[in-house]
Structure 1
Amino acid sequence: MDALAGLLDGPRARGAFLLRVVLDPPWSMRIEDQAPLALVSVVRGSAWLLRGREDAVEIQAGDVLVIRGPEPYLVADHPTTPAQVIIHPDERCTTVYGEDLAIAMDRGVRTWGNSDDGQTMMLVGTYQDAGEISHSLLRALPPILVLTKEDWDNPLVPLLAAEIGKDDQGQSAVLDRILDLMLIAVLRTWFARGDTAPGWFRAQSDPVVGRALRMMHNHPAHPWTVAELATRLGVSRATLARRFTDLVGEPPMSYLTGWRLALAADLLREPRATLAAVARKVGYSSAFALSSAFKRVRGVSPQDHRAALSADSA
């Protein structure tokens, strides 16, 4: 498994919040749902996103926007339009004065807005719980990610547009999987762009560091040392350590620790996986050794991490 495959294996929507939004100007929504990740695709018209002190971002028909939470943000027809609607946690929407809008803005199956055929139509998919997205993936993403229609051409947007209004048996499971596939497609395209990809992704094309990364990714349980990696690569330890740190942003063994613990965190999603078995798969001699490293680096014990995943699932 390469690093990107490991990251993109993370999205697992479970009853995701999916909505077709149809609006006529003027409109403006303040999003305070605290969701860890949201994906917005503009089908027609345009929209602006504003977040804190960051510059306003305009998205046009065909563009896709990925927003990392849980900080609030504003989506509007124009940057100067004041907020009219607030989106709260638990899919609740109100006016800025607290008046409920659930009925007033309801336009049919998974369709919401101030018009039946508005100038702007967006498809919105929101991952509700942090357990649905790996922490490693969230850390790798910028707060706002935009792919324009020139950046990608993907059949999943029309597919989601066609499926989102259906009310068939099992439709929520179908939509969850389409949302996961859309997010993976967007992120794979974004990571492949050299000007935006993180250092560890660009480093995979380096003849020395890329091979070192592949060895660690493919065999995380092996007791790697900088000396062994350097010998296999035919370079000195100093050369490997310097080159790896320059390209990836951290020393080889620090990166290996993070990779092992990210794998362990995902393996712990399986309720029947024992801590000892997970430890062996990711290169730790015992459950105690894994637990100590996990708590030191991630701030919680593996047991607490697993309990949090179970609570999210419930």
Structure 2
Amino acid sequence: MDAFSGLLEGPRARGAFALRGLLASPWSLRIEADSPLTVIAMVRGGCHIAHDNGAAVSLEAGDVAITRAPGHYTVSDFSGTEPTVYVYPGQECRSPEGRSLHEEMKLGVRTWGNDLGADTLMLIGSYESMADVSERLRDALPPLLWVKGEAWESPLIQMLSDEMARDAPGQAAVLDRLLDMLLIAILRKWFERGEARELPWYQAKGDPVVGQTLKLIHKEPARPWTLASLSAEVGVSRAALARRFSETVGEPPMAFLTQWRLALAADLLCEPDQTVGTVAERVGYGSPFALSSAFKRVRGMSPQEHRERVLAGA
């Protein structure tokens, strides 16, 4: 598995929040929901997204954007429109005065807004559980990214829109898989662009020594790697590998290996058929005790505590 595939294996929506937004001007949504990852896709009309960190973009039909937690932002018809709706954790919607808008803005099956005949139709798909999107992926993305319609062509936006409006058996599972596919399609296109090349992991994979080391770690995380065995595989001295890896990635190779193994473990622990023992074996720890000790040392909690917190959040 290469670094890119390792990042994209994470999205697994389970009962994700999926909604069609029909909005007539003036409108402005202040998003403070803290969803781990949200996809916004324009079917028709346009919108302006302004993140609190200063990033901003105007979207038109066919354009898509992704936001990630932490961080709040505003989605509106035009830049500067004052918020007409506040969205809080749990996708609770309220007016600026605090009045619940849950029933008032319902327009049909997974359809919400202020006008059924509105010129603006957007799709909103939010991963609500931290277990559904790996930390590796969240940490690799900026708080706000986007892809313009002219840069890509995909039938997934219209497919997702059509499915959102349906009410059929198994519909939630269909929407989850379509959302996963749309997210990955957007990220594949975005990673081709120049902005992604500024990310440390992207620069690292282009280095002949560091890139090969990353491939080895990603492909075989359970292998009993040492600095000596890694350097022998890539054909450099231990000192050269340690120096080059640290300069490019920002941490020593063995520290990166530990973080990668524990990131994999954190994701695997959320799978219902995995035990601490099976996860330990898959990520390179000789026993459940060894994994638990490393997990607690680095993450400040036991694997079982991590699993319970994630499931409680879901």
Q: Tell me the TM-score normalized by structure 2.
A: 0.92
Instruction: Report 1:84-95 matches (<5 A).
Output: 84-95=84-95
Q: After the TM superposition, which residues 216-235 of structure 1 pair with which residues of structure 2 at under 5 Å, given as runs?
A: 216-235=217-236
CA distance in 2, matches of 1:241, 1:297: 21
Match of 1:237 in 2: 238
Change (3 A) 1:274 1:167: closer
Matches within 5 A, 1:118-157: 118-157=118-157
Q: Where does residue 259 of structure 1 map in the other structure?
A: 260
Displacement of 1:165 in angstroms is 0.7
TM-superposed deviation, 1:40: 0.2
C-alpha separation in 1, matches of 2:208 and 2:34: 42
- Output aligned runs, 1:230-309, within 5 Å: 230-309=231-310
Over 3 Å counting, the alpha-carbon distance change for 1:160 and 1:258 in structure 2 is same
Identity between Structure 1 and Structure 2 (%): 51
Q: Deviations over 1:217-266 (max 9, x none)?
A: 12112221222222222222222222222332222111111111111112
Q: Distance in 2 between matches of 1:155 and 1:202?
A: 31
CA contact (8 A) 2:30 2:87 kept: yes
User: Residue 299 and residue 152 in structure 1: after superposition, are their counterparts in 2 closer, same or farther (change >3 A)?
Assistant: farther
- 1:180 paired with 2:169, answer no
Q: Contact 1:56–1:79 (CA<8 Å) still a contact in 2?
A: no
Superposition RMSD on alpha carbons, in Å? 1.9
Check conservation: 2:65, 2:144, Cα contact below 8 A.
yes
CA distance in 1, matches of 2:186, 2:89: 25
Of the structure 1 ranges 254-263 and 44-53, higher mean CA displacement relative to structure 2 is found in 44-53
Change (3 A) 1:48 1:252: same
Sort the Cα spacing of 1:111 and 1:272 in 2 relative to 1 into closer, same or farther, 3 A: closer
Q: Which amino acid counterpart does residue 184 of structure 2 have in structure 1? A: I
C-alpha distance in structure 2 between counterparts of 1:68 and 1:249, whole Å: 23
Paired position in structure 1 for 2:80: 80
- Residue aligned with 2:285, SS: coil
SS in 1 for 2:65: strand
C-alpha separation in 2, matches of 1:221 and 1:105? 51
- Would you say the 8 A contact 2:3–2:205 is kept in 1? no
Taking the aligned partners of 1:69 and 1:228, their CA distance within structure 2 comes to 37
Partner of 1:203: 204
Between the aligned partners of 1:283 and 1:126, the Cα distance in structure 2 is 33
Displacement of 1:211 after TM fit? 1.6
Number of positions where the alignment pairs a residue of Structure 1 with one of Structure 2: 313
- List alignment gaps of at least 5 residues for structure 2: none
Q: Give the conservation status (yes or no) of the 8 Å contact 1:26–1:81.
A: yes
Deviation at residue 194 of structure 1 after TM alignment: 4.6
Asked if the contact 2:292–2:303 (Cα under 8 Å) also holds between the matched residues in 1, the reply is: yes
State the SS of the aligned residue for 1:169. coil
Aligned to 1:18: 18
Contact 2:70 2:143 in 1 (8 A): no
Show structure 1 runs of 5+ residues with no match: none
Q: 1:206 to 1:184 in 2, by over 3 A?
A: same
Residue by residue over 1:191-211, the C-alpha shift from the partner in whole angstroms, topping out at 9 and shown as x without a partner, is 333531432233223322222
3-state SS of paired residue (2:270): coil
